[in-house]
Structure 1
């Protein structure tokens, strides 16, 4: 009964490949952000497809490359629009649980610190970075600053929604019909068995 009562919602896409296949969806991202670099250097075919689609669309709709994240989110609200961003949307999801973010990898992003080759602090900097990495402080800080997007903090319904029997009456009719047919077959087999027994005695 729970399976009948709980309404399951299927997202329009759950990864980059499915998004790339949705020709009815427009896609946008901030062209001045690291997202541009990630898409530009990605080797994945679905990511390249999305990059090409956004580039072609930008000639007719420059806003798909807007640096204004609010404008992108507004278009998401309006429907048939996907916003790609390097920023985590956990806070936005908490503010409005109707917004959903998919957790998918589009490529690799490398963050580097540059110091002059002749800098007297170069070795000290290398030692500090090695300590942060080896001690696990950098990993713990990353987990704290960038929590997983799957935990959006949205409340869940505690109880299934009511469903009328009229909506599932066909299931009961099918089950009932199967039971009736089973009894009829059983009765026919019983009669046939008794007839065979009677004929064998004669």
Structure 2
């Protein structure tokens, strides 16, 4: 008996699935990951702007990558305070602090993950490479080196100073700066009141050895 049904065509009264239904089914089976913004910075001003933009973009998390070596000026108070999880990646470059301020701020809602290389420029009194403030958590996955002093007998700088109520998880390499003729190198990490430190299995924290100044040749 012949039939008017053509192979590949839907039978009368049978509705083909709509594209929107298929899309919904796929979305339910394979939910998308939370959105994450990505920013690039080639100067300290651009880094501060990137953190401000990331806080406001509506994405769940953000990553900021350096596209050049960046220097944090001596008078800078902070890189900015994250209001959500932000990863700062030096991306093969170096972020260098030059003054006594320069906080790497955190917040309860905004842990800060630090990948790459961080240091402080040598000066007459050494210097701390990274001040962790804000009462939140910083996660160090890179290398942080404290400042070397340029004055004989002066104390060098710690790599990280954790300010009150903040915490650090170290998965990377943290080393205090070296002092010229000082009796001891500086500790890798200093902790303030109610500050916390967790050194993970992959983390190393060391104090630097003193550097002995050589006399000038006659």
Q: For the superposition of Structure 1 and Structure 2, which TM-score range results when normalised by the shorter chain?
A: under 0.3
* Greater radius of gyration (CA): 1
TM-score normalised over the length of structure 2: 0.24
Structure with the higher strand share, 1 or 2: 2
